[in-house]
Amino acid sequence: MKKNIKLTVSNRIILINSFFSKEGNILEMTMFEDICEKLTISSEEFNLVEFDPNSGTYNIDKDKDSEKEFKFTNAEIEFFNKRKAELDFQKKINLPILDLCKKIK
């Protein structure tokens, strides 16, 4: 069974930057790689992103940050939920991540 979730460019950047660790076991890293491939940002979408290298932050005009639907498997949703629990335990949940967590539940 698959679940459809609508994600903006901002949501996808948050998922890649916050939800995924840079290291893990083979299964986790394979899942991360598969999900990142799905969430790839097109060149048109990338042109909407203004990145500030000094602060390491990005900005996207909310009027241009449109949603795109993605299909995730149950295993991928379980992976998201595991990472949400880890972020919660580490007290690394902020408002953008909380908003994303509501979409994924």
- The pTM for the full model equals 0.80
pLDDT tens track for 7-62: 999 899 888 888 877 777 898 889 889 999 999 988 988 888 888 888 877 888 88
The pair of three-digit structure tokens given for residue 92, joined into one six-digit string = 């690394």
Sign of the dihedral defined by the CA atoms of residues 103, 18, 36, 1, in that order: negative
CA distance 63 to 61: 5
What pLDDT score was predicted for residue 70? 93
Cβ-based burial of 60 (10 A; exposed 0-12, middle 13-18, buried ≥19) = middle
